[in-house]
Structure formats: structure tokens, C-alpha cells
Amino acid sequence: MSTPASSVSIESDSPLPTRDRLIAAMLNALRRKGYHGVGLNELLTEASAPKGVLYHHFPGGKSELAIAAIQTVVSQIAAGLQKLLKRHADPADALQAWMVSAQKLLAGSGFEQGCPLASIALESTPDDAAIRAALADGFGSIRTHLADALQTAGIAPARSANLAALIVSAYEGALLQARVAGQVHAMQNTTEALVDLIRLSLPPQP
């Protein structure tokens, strides 16, 4: 998933610690090229870090770095959602703002930067057990945040969980379609449908 409300950038007036630069480099790579599309040397060059430092912070090498990147982007998404939910009392409005921001982020990158979670999920194999576990936990955490917000708005727990799963699935599918098409129509249509569905699911206002 994109993280319009929060992101890690390597470029800064005050340089990030080496560990954070490595994570940022991995996140950038996942958005643009995917896990198998980038090599260690490229990651180290982007992070301005020697190889020995990589293994100091991530003894498991590239896969452990990828797991740290997954956990980082999930935390960013959760923080971004919380900010939007505080700003918008209606969860449908918060969802719309979130997806519109993602559309702008994708279009602003020239439709090059996709979702880092989706890219590594599609590339993973049964041998990538730790990466898949981190992804499963991450997607589960995002669904929980969404479900909690819907439940707080008055939607029944079971329906909130179902809607949260649908939102994540639709978001990822729409983002993928928009990226390959080079235009945001799929995301716009998906946003409109999800917002309508959330509003229909909310209890009547007194």
C-alpha cells in the first residue's frame, strides 16, 4: 500500500541513521522494482552504506531488511489512517481522502511507484516463509485498524471485519490496475464504490 500521509525519505537536511537509510532504500526499491529487481549493491549505494553495516543491522541480509521495510510501511499506513480518522469524523470521508492521496502519489511518480507490500507479496515463494509471515501480519494489522474504525462508527463487528478485508483487497487491485494502465480511473471507480458501500453500512443518524 501507498503511504501518502507518512513516508521515509533518504534525502534530508539531517541525515537519517544508517539503519533507517537502508530501510528507506529497500522501500524505494520495492515501490519501483520489486524485491528481486534490486540487488544488494544498488541498495547499499542508495543508502550510502558499506556492506558490513548492512549485516551489522540486518544479520539475515536482504530478506531481513525487506521484513524491516514491511514493518515500517505498515506502521506508516496505520499512522496515516489514524490521522485521517481524527480529521474526518465520517469513516467514508477518511477512506476517500486516503485513496485520493494514494492516487495523487501514484500519478506524481509517473505511475512508477506501486505498493511495496503488493510487490513483494507477488514475488514471494514458499521459501520466503519469514517474509510471507511479516506480510500476513502487516495486512492483518491494516485490516484491524480499518475494522476498528468502522466498528467505532457503529457498524457491526462482523460486517466491519468483512468491509475492512474488502477495502484492502480492492485498494491493492485498483492500485495495480492504475499503475499498469498509467491512469487512475480504476482507483477512482473503486474509491467511489467503497465510499458508497461504507455510507450504506453506517447506522442511520438520529
Contact 163, 201 (CB under 8 A): yes
Q: pLDDT category, 6, cuts 50, 70, 90? A: very low
d(CA 138, CA 136): 5
pLDDT in tens, 96-139: 999 999 999 999 999 988 899 999 999 999 999 999 999 999 99
Q: What percent of the chain has pLDDT over 70?
A: 93
pLDDT in tens, 147-178: 999 999 999 999 999 999 999 999 999 999 99
What's the whole-model pTM score?
Answer: 0.87
d(CA 94, CA 98): 6
Q: pLDDT category, 92, cuts 50, 70, 90? A: very high
Q: Which three cell numbers stand for residue 160?
A: 466491519
Q: CA dist 119 to 19, 60, 115, 159, 163, Å?
A: 22, 20, 6, 28, 23
Any idea which fold 18-201 has? Tetracycline Repressor; domain 2 (1.10.357)
